[in-house]
Amino acid sequence: MKPVHVPGVGDRLWQRIPADTRQIVTVYGDGENSPDSTLVLYEKRGTTWQRGGSWPAHNGKRGWTTDHHEGDERTPVGVYTLSDAGGLLDDPGTRLPYTQDEDAFASPYYWDEAHWHDFDYVIAIDYNRRRGARPDDPTRPQGQSKGGGIWLHLDHGDGTLGCVSVPETAMEYLLRTLNPKDKPVVVMGDRAKLKL
């Protein structure tokens, strides 16, 4: 029997979710050109998906795209695995492979102070990256022009360059809850595209 769908996710994206996935981070964008969204964690119990937590979030400054390119300031729509984490701070107790590195995850000194803690914690979204590598690994299997370095990270109060950002409490919860044995994925996009 096919499990109940996660609310707001249509057949097109649902079919891309691996059958053995038991954790889905869903990012519901407010609109195609909006930086505002809501992140909800769902976990599979039996044949149904139960809502875990929900938090306000931000995505790309210019919204969402199905054809992401370096520098477009949009977040790629799709289904992506979540396999690696890291940050400036010590591992908060995640089961994901975690890289703590003050140099690699430090925000550039010339960034506005509001962004200095963006990468205290990150979870790599496996868009145009090599799974199993550190989140900051520069490898881009589809080429540099398709962009990369798309992460879940701490929120700074407005849109991102393509990542999804959430409050620190949400990042800590996700890091402690996501489990590689549950094959976690993120399903993300503006609400209209998610429903297709």
pLDDT in tens, 46-101: 989 999 999 999 999 999 999 999 999 999 999 999 999 999 999 999 999 999 99
Q: Looking at the predicted structure, is the pLDDT value of residue 36 above 90?
A: yes
Mean pLDDT score, 131-154: 96
Strand positions, DSSP E, 4-150: 23-29, 36-45, 48-58, 64-65, 75-76, 78-87, 98-100, 122-125
Interacting residues of 118 by C-beta distance below 8 A, sequence separation 6+: 107, 153, 154, 156, 165
Active-site entry in 58, 68, 153, 156: 153
Q: Are 28 and 38 in contact (CB under 8 A)?
A: yes
Q: Percent of the chain, pLDDT > 70?
A: 98
Question: Quick check: is 153 catalytic?
Answer: yes
Residue 102: pLDDT band with limits 50, 70, 90: confident
* Mean pLDDT (whole number) for 103-131: 91
- What rounded mean pLDDT belongs to the chain? 95
The model carries a pTM of: 0.95
- Determine the average pLDDT of the residues in 180-188: 98
pLDDT of 59 reads 98
Q: Tell me what pLDDT residue 103 has.
A: 87
pLDDT (tens digit per residue) in 17-27: 999 999 999 99
Residue 163 annotated in active site: yes
